[in-house]
Amino acid sequence: MVRWGVAGAAGVLGVGVGGGVVDVAGMRETAGAVGAAGVADVADVRGAVGVLGEVLARLVAVPAPEGLRTLGGAVERMLAAAPETVGRLADASERRLLADCVAAVREVAGEPGDRLLHWDLHYDNILAGRADTGRAGQWVALDPKPLAGDPGFELFPALVNLFDAGEVVWRFDALTEAVGLERDRGRARAWTLGRVLQNAVWGAGTGGHRMVPEHAEIARQLLGGGVTVRAGVRWCGG
C-alpha cells in the first residue's frame, strides 16, 4: 500500500511492507505525531544505525510513485558538472580523489534504479512516534526530499551524520546488509561516492575550493582497497 500526497514543500508517504509501517512526512505535517526522543539520542550509535537500517529497508522495498524526480536526472547533472568541479579543487590529492568518485559513478549511471528514496535519512530525521497519535513503538522518518533511485544512494547521510572515521566501514557494511545489498556492495559504494560527488558539485557552486573533510574521508575509505563494480571493472582511490 502506498499513499502519496504533497502539501507545499511537505510530502506525506505511508508505506506498509510485510506488516511494518514507514511514515515519511514533511516536518510540518507530523510535528504533532512525534515525541522529543529520536534515533540520534540513542546512547549506542551502532544501535541507532540498526534502527535507521530497518527504516530504510522498509522504505526502499517500495517502488517510487510516478512523477517523482529521478536519480537518473540528478546523475546526469552531476556528471556534466564534474570536470569543472574537479578542476576547482585547490588540493591535488582531492582532485584525484574526486576524479575516482566520478569514474565510479559513471560505471553505474546507466542503472539509476526505481526505489523510493528519502534522500536525507539521517539520525536527526527519525523520531519516536507518540502513543496518543497511534504511533507508539514506531520510528517516524521526517523531512524527506523524495527521489526515485537506487538504494545505494541513500547510505551517505548515515555515514556522515554523527561522523566517526573509525566506524565508516562498519556502518556501510551494516546498512548494505539491512537493505539487501551485501552481495552488491560495489554498486552501493559507487552510489555512495555519487553523494560525495554531488556534495562537491554543490560546494563548487557556492565558491568552494576544498572537499568537506568528512566527505573526503568517507570516499578514501570506500575507495581504499578497490571494489569490483562489474566483472573486470575496478577502481582504486588516489
pLDDT digits (tens, 9 = 90+) for 82-113: 999 999 999 999 999 999 999 999 999 999 99
Structure-model confidence comparison of residues 19 and 189, the more confident one = 189
pLDDT at 153: 97
- Compute the radius of gyration of the chain from its Cα atoms: 18
Q: Is 120 one of the annotated active-site residues of the chain?
A: yes
Q: Give the C-alpha distances (Å, rounded to integers) separating 112 from 27, 73, 150, 217.
A: 28, 9, 6, 25
Q: Where are the alpha helices (DSSP H) in 89-236?
A: 92-108, 156-160, 168-178, 185-205, 213-223
pLDDT at 17: 32
Q: How far apart are alpha carbons 223 and 132 in whole angstroms?
A: 47
pLDDT of 65 > 80? The answer is yes
pLDDT at 25: 43
Backbone dihedral angles phi then psi of residue 23, each to the nearest 5 degrees: -110, 120
Total length of the chain = 238
pLDDT of 125 > 80? The answer is yes
pLDDT at 24: 45
Per the CB < 8 A criterion, the answer to whether 41 and 47 are in contact is: no
Binned at pLDDT 50, 70 and 90, residue 58 comes out as confident
Identify the structural domains of the chain with CATH numbers, from first to last: 2-235 (3.90.1200)
pLDDT of 173 > 70? The answer is yes
Q: Which of 23, 44, 91, 120 is catalytic?
A: 120
Structure-model confidence comparison of residues 237 and 68, the more confident one = 68
Beta-carbon contacts of 162 under 8 Å, excluding residues fewer than 6 positions away, are: 40, 45, 48, 123
pTM of the predicted structure, to 2 decimals? 0.80
Instruction: For residues 143-167, give the mean pLDDT.
Output: 94
pLDDT at 233: 32
Q: How far apart are alpha carbons 141 and 186 in whole angstroms?
A: 27
Q: Which of 19-23, 68-72, 76-80, 98-102 has the lowest mean pLDDT?
A: 19-23
How many beta carbons lie within 10 A of that of residue 212, not counting itself?
14
